[in-house]
Amino acid sequence: MKAYILKRPIITERSLTLASVGKYSFEVSLQANKDQIREVVESQFGVTVIGVNTSKVAGKRRRVGKQRREKIGTPWKKAIVQLKKGDKIDIFEVEQS
């Protein structure tokens, strides 16, 4: 069950800015709670988590098909994890060119 809690890291301009101050964003399972997210991040990346903030993101509305019917995408959950000062997660590091 723990393997499916973290789905993917969220790599956006805003999340990279937050990563510079020790906050990392992940897409997580809708059923995951803050304690489970903390345990998985600490065990997978070998870091110390100070805090976890979560939010549910509604699915996007879009119009599809010949009659342009409205469809709603699937909702998902986002977690922003704050690490102890000095800890890093390497997948968020971007090389400066």
Q: In whole angstroms, what separates CA 8 from the centre of its chain?
A: 7
pLDDT for 76 equals: 97
CB 77 within 8 A of CB 84: no
Measured distance CA(27)–CA(42) in Å, rounded = 16
Measured distance CA(7)–CA(1) in Å, rounded = 12
The predicted model scores a pTM of 0.85
Q: In whole angstroms, what separates CA 53 from the centre of its chain?
A: 10
CB 78 within 8 A of CB 55: yes
pLDDT for 82 equals: 97
pLDDT for 96 equals: 57
In this structure, which topology does domain 2-89 adopt according to CATH? Answer: Alpha-Beta Plaits (3.30.70)
pLDDT for 91 equals: 81
- Helix runs in the chain, H state only: 13-19, 34-45
* Cα first-last separation, the chain: 39
pLDDT for 90 equals: 87
pLDDT mean values, one per 10 residues, the chain (97 residues): 84 93 96 96 96 97 93 96 94 66
